[in-house]
Each structure stands twice: as structure tokens, then as C-alpha cells.
Amino acid sequence: MPSLWDHIVGSDSKIKQQRNYSKENTKVLEGLQRGENGIEENPLYQAGNDWLMKLLSGDTSVFEQPLIDQFNEEIAPGIAERFGGGQSKSSSAMNQTLAHAGSTLSSQIAKIRGDLMNQASSQALQYAQQPYSNQLNAFNIKPYENVEKPGVTGFLPTIANEAAHNIGKNMFGGGGGGGNPGDIEKLAAVAG
């Protein structure tokens, strides 16, 4: 708000920095811009990153073990039962069938492992980029903005401007250029 003095003599426009966010949000944003307070400290981010690193290292036991357990507890006994109720465990056909089922299981597990590692590698790249992406996005958010506070045309400059205009008008014969031809010579003599 302009002061009384500004209204009398006038004031120039001023640029003022204005906060766009609360102090707490501004501190968090400035921390992100400095690389602090990042997503890396979030427990969910850490857990996801640990999970992906585990998969990338080839540890897919969480997915493999249930398949192996199912094979040992359901599929293998089912095959043995089909070949004589489990009494002729040395049957060549039963052994071939078990070997084929085991080979199929191994192939399925290898495919699952490869798929999981492939998916984990692309997700791991996204995870690795996320903190930097967050930091770059934080740089596009400005915690402050410059706001122009317009100046005030004061009372005295307005009067002075009006007086100068009237003096010029009276001295040179109004705004129409109809003054006395000798006025310009008089003005030149005074100035020179």
C-alpha cells in the first residue's frame, strides 16, 4: 500500500519476491532442488528397489519354490499313482514320465526367471532414474515469483506536469501552433 509521501511525490514501480507456497513446502521443495529429501529415503521405494535388485541377481526362489513344492507334493505322486497305484516305482515308463515332467518344470522355471529378470531390468532403470526425475521436476517449480508493485503518480508531479503544459500552451499560443512568430526567437535567445 502506497504511503502518504508516495501519494504526494510519487514512487517508481518495485519488484517484490512473493512466496508461492507455505514455508514448510518451500523448505521441502528447496531440499529436493539440492538433492535432499528424495524418494530414496522412502521405505516403499527402498523395498521396491531391494526387490528388483534381488530379481536382477537371479534370486527368483520366491516364484520357483512354490512350483517345485507343487511338483513334489502333487504332480510326482499323481504320476506314480497312474503307473500302478504307486507300487511299481521302478517302471521305465513312470521314470520317463517323471523325467519329462521335471524337464518341463525346469523349462517353465527358467522361462519365468528370464521373464522376471527382463522385467526387473527395465523397472530398475526407471527406479534408478526416478530420484533424478523428481529433482528435475522440482527445478521447474518456483518457490517464489517476482511480482511488480506498480508505482504511484504523486500529487506534486501531476501539478508540475499540468503547470508545464499550461505554461507551454500560453507561451506558444495553445496547442494549435498559432503563437507569435517572434516567440521562437525569444526562446532561442534565452536558451543560447
The answer to whether residue 44 sits within a structural domain is yes
Examine residue 36 and state whether it is found in any structural domain, yes or no: yes
My answer on whether 76 and 166 are in the same domain is: no
Percent of the chain with pLDDT over 90: 0
In a domain, 149, yes or no: no
- pLDDT (0 to 100) of residue 18: 78
CB 15 within 8 A of CB 149: yes
Show the domain range for 89: 21-141
What pLDDT, in 10s, does the model give residues 6-32?
Answer: 767 777 888 887 777 778 877 777 777
160 and 136, same structural domain?
Answer: no
Does the pLDDT at position 181 exceed 70?
A: no
